[in-house]
Amino acid sequence: MQSKIQLALVDDELLFRKGLLSILSKESDIEILFDAEDGNDLMNQLRDTKVIPEIIITDLKMPGINGVEVTKLIRKEFQDIKVIALTSYFSKPFIINMISIGAVAYLAKNSTPKFMLKTIREVHKKGFYYDEQVMKFIHEGLLNPSEEQKKSYFDNSYFTKREKEILNLICNQFNTNEIAEKLFISPRTVEGHRNNILTKTGSKNIAGLVVYAIQNKLVILEEQL
């Protein structure tokens, strides 16, 4: 039996938070471990809980520790947790900033429940999920890599042929098993190559790797953005 996706939810607007909880609690593959009213409440609960959530959906505009700061704290103290940013403020610089500090997906508050559930499941499955609009923002080059990174990335000998193949498939949002099937190799081999790529690029997670790869034109996206 497949384990449930374990979530925590943070939003200072009580009615909105309870509405999300009502939607999510009806899904058989999702378990809500706890909800929090702001960043302080979230961090206190995370530090006290025995079961750490896999995914946290956090509002960004909150009193006290806001969603931006709480994302930074989570990345520092609980590196395995995946953060989905939730906000009504959908601008390029804001989205890019959230991605750069560690958010693995971005949800507008006027998203449909169907899209929210898809985002959660894609993050659980692949480690990140950027829809077409967010991928376009990244593709437009709002993050500037350092000169050292540019030299490394544009050196064709820096990545092996297999690493380049796997990097391209990751950025086109294939998961480990799908990549293994496409390349006729084992999932463990895929994971080994993926870890090598993360090390070479200095990326902390798959989301960061995707940002850098697209920015440096290391991959070709299958969809026209």
164 lies in the same domain as 130: no
Last residue of a domain, one of 135, 162, 189: 135
pLDDT tens digits, 130-150: 888 787 777 665 445 545 444
Give the residue numbers spanning the domain of 89: 5-135
128 lies in the same domain as 69: yes
Please identify which residue in the block is written with the tokens 């499955």: 125
Phi, psi dihedral angles at 33 (to 5 degrees): -75, -40
37 lies in the same domain as 110: yes
Q: Kindly state whether residue 24 falls inside one of the protein's structural domains.
A: yes
Averaging pLDDT over each range in 34-43, 156-165, 208-217, which range is the top one? 34-43
123 lies in the same domain as 157: no
Q: Kindly state whether residue 222 falls inside one of the protein's structural domains.
A: no
Q: Is residue 44's pLDDT more than 90?
A: yes
- Per the structure, the count of domains in the chain is 2
184 lies in the same domain as 117: no
Q: Kindly state whether residue 115 falls inside one of the protein's structural domains.
A: yes
Confidence (pLDDT) at 161: 87
Model confidence at 221, pLDDT cuts 50, 70, 90, reads: low
Beta bridge partners of 108: 87
Structure tokens at 17: 């938070």
pTM of full prediction above 0.75: no
How distant, in Å, are the alpha carbons of 12, 14, 37 from that of 30? 22, 21, 20
Last residue of a domain, one of 135, 156, 176: 135
12 lies in the same domain as 122: yes
Confidence (pLDDT) at 220: 64
Q: Kindly state whether residue 93 falls inside one of the protein's structural domains.
A: yes
CB 77 within 8 A of CB 83: no
pLDDT tens digits, 90-100: 777 777 778 77
Last residue of a domain, one of 83, 102, 135: 135
Model confidence at 207, pLDDT cuts 50, 70, 90, reads: confident
106 lies in the same domain as 167: no
Give the CATH number of the domain where residue 100 resides: 3.40.50.2300
112 lies in the same domain as 164: no
Mean residue pLDDT of the chain comes to 83
Give the CATH number of the domain where residue 192 resides: 1.10.10.10
Q: Kindly state whether residue 51 falls inside one of the protein's structural domains.
A: yes
45 lies in the same domain as 111: yes
CB 85 within 8 A of CB 190: no
